[in-house]
Chains A and B, each alone.
Chain A
Amino acid sequence: MPDLGLDVLFKGKNMLRLLGGLWVAVRISLISVALSIPLGILLGIVMTFKNPITKTVTRIYLEFIRIMPQLVLLFIVFFSSTRTLGWDISGELASVIVFTAWGTAEMGDLVRGALISIPKHQYESASALALSPSQTYFYIIIPQTVRRLIPLSINLVTRMIKTTSLILMIGVVEVLKVAQQIIEANRMSSPNAAFGIYLVVLIMYFMICWPISMLARYLEKKWR
């Protein structure tokens, strides 16, 4: 068994540094999710409007954001917007903007799907029972929509966390960058460190995303 460089992890503060890097990525995804859920709900509601203008505008937004790789969006915001708009944003801010825009599009589509999946007879039965429109929404429609939405939005969190690994490419120092630095620093003493460190990074992502996916799947089964 060759030396796999796992000992490098326990040298100095390497483990803590890796966890700190992971936190940078997770924090960006949590901020983006927190912003995109309310914005996405709003977008989803707007998308159900029959108005042709809002319909076209939201549709184009959704299609463009969803068809472009997130990395391209990151490049556009990070490299191009700084030039055309003349502002100077950090990589972290650029990632929050991109992931919020992307999360809003995804969430908006989920909300729209959940809203139109509520059968019409639900509204009609409610009004037949003499519920006012606001009562219909509060007691009939929103509870059903939320039940369908919660597992899907939890899934969005894991997708967001996985996607934030891309911020490495616009120079944000996150877990993968820290891993590279640690490997570089120990190149002489432990040439195989790449194996151990990258394995640990892989496991870290797994340990974060897996429980969240399990929770989403559990809720989906429970509330079906």
Chain B
Amino acid sequence: MNWDFILKYLPLYETAALLTVKIGLIGIALSIAVGFLCAAVLYFKVPVLRQIVIVYIEVSRNTPLLIQLFFIYYALPKVGIGMSAQLCGIIGLAFLGGSYMAEAFRSGLEAVEPIQAESALSLGMQRSQALRYVVLPQAVSISVPAFVANIIFLLKETSVFSAISLMDLMFTAKDLIGQYYKTTESLFLLVVFYLIILLPVSILGSYVERRLRYAGFGS
């Protein structure tokens, strides 16, 4: 292990990690928004939109992010939709994550039995109140584990961005291996930086999971 090398190239990794985190955060925020909308469309059975959402979810869940990125980055410009690599990465992550988040929210909503909403209505609550005070709190609690797993999954998926020449952690590591042949040091830094990004998320995630595990008592 050559520590001089590690110290010298640490800043490169820092920049790359910031890019990974930045794209990851924007992509995840967008996928939560997309997922929320899709889950709402499915839950309220909005006609037409519902079919579109179902097709979107199936396509997005059954194709790899790498291929989606290739399609967005290399194929779409051919029909006149050209975007920067960063924007492609964000859109790709949101496209993939949207369906995973939608499934997480939907399964949470579906897990709340209809009798809960019906009881709320019979107690004189309005539909919006029943949703706000009875259905959503339970649905959120049930979907938290899947939600946390999705966030970690999406952060991990950002590692393929180097394929569309974004200078992320993978790109930096590969570049350094190619230039200086310092394989061990480059990969060591890579692992350390991914641990720095992912471990806190994982630990925080399981903490939140424990705190929000209040729905579905008795089972």
Instruction: List residues of A whose CB falls within 8 A of some B CB.
Output: 2, 4-5, 63, 67-72, 75-76, 79-80, 83-84, 158, 162-163, 165-166, 168-169, 176, 183, 191-192, 194-195, 197-199, 201-202, 205-206, 209-210, 213
Q: Say whether A192 contacts B160, CB under 8 Å.
A: no
Inter-chain contact count A-B, CB under 8 Å? Answer: 112
> What range describes how many residues of B lie at the interface?
35 or more
Which residues of the other chain, B, contact A197 by a CB distance below 8 angstroms? 75
Which residues of the other chain, A, contact B195 by a CB distance below 8 angstroms? 67
Known contacts A70-B156, A166-B66; can you find 8 more A-B pairs with CB under 8 A?
A2-B79, A67-B156, A72-B190, A75-B173, A75-B190, A79-B177, A205-B63, A206-B59
What CA separation (Å) do A31 and B191 show in the bound complex?
A: 27
**Of A67, A168, A206, which is in contact with the most chain B CB atoms at under 10 Å from its CB?**
A67
What CA separation (Å) do A199 and B76 show in the bound complex?
A: 10
Which residues of the other chain, A, contact B76 by a CB distance below 8 angstroms? 195
B56 within 8 A of A: no
What are 21 A-B interface contacts by the 8 Å CB criterion? Answer: A63-B202, A67-B152, A67-B194, A68-B156, A69-B156, A69-B170, A71-B170, A75-B174, A75-B187, A165-B66, A166-B66, A168-B163, A183-B74, A194-B77, A194-B78, A195-B79, A199-B75, A205-B63, A206-B59, A210-B62, A213-B58
What is the interface of chain A mostly: helix, strand, loop, or mixed? helix
Contact partner, A166, options B58, B71, B75, B160, Cβ 8 Å = B160
B184 within 8 A of A: yes
What is the interface of chain B mostly: helix, strand, loop, or mixed? helix
Q: Say whether B79 contacts A69, CB under 8 Å.
A: no
Minimal beta-carbon separation of A14 from chain B (angstroms): 16
What CA separation (Å) do A213 and B70 show in the bound complex?
A: 23
Q: Say whether A198 contacts B71, CB under 8 Å.
A: yes
B209 within 8 A of A: no
Q: A176-B70, A194-B78, A195-B75 are in contact. Are A162 and B198 (CB under 8 A)?
A: no
**Of B58, B159, B174, which is in contact with the most chain A CB atoms at under 10 Å from its CB?**
B159
Mask of B169-184 contacts with A, CB within 8 angstroms, 1/0: 0100110010000011
Instruction: List residues of B whose CB falls within 8 A of some A CB.
Output: 58-59, 61-64, 66-68, 70-71, 74-79, 152, 156-160, 162-163, 170, 173-174, 177, 183-184, 187, 190-191, 194-195, 198-199, 202
Which residues of the other chain, B, contact A183 by a CB distance below 8 angstroms? 74
Q: Say whether B62 contacts A192, CB under 8 Å.
A: no
What CA separation (Å) do A84 and B183 show in the bound complex?
A: 9
Q: A67-B199, A166-B66, A168-B66 are in contact. Are A198 and B59 (CB under 8 A)?
A: no
Minimal beta-carbon separation of B108 from chain A (angstroms): 17
Q: Say whether A83 contacts B163, CB under 8 Å.
A: no
Q: Say whether B75 contacts A194, CB under 8 Å.
A: yes
Q: Say whether A71 contacts B67, CB under 8 Å.
A: no
Q: Say whether B159 contacts A209, CB under 8 Å.
A: no
Q: A71-B159, A194-B74, A199-B75 are in contact. Are A84 and B66 (CB under 8 A)?
A: no
Contact partner, A4, options B78, B152, B170, Cβ 8 Å = B78
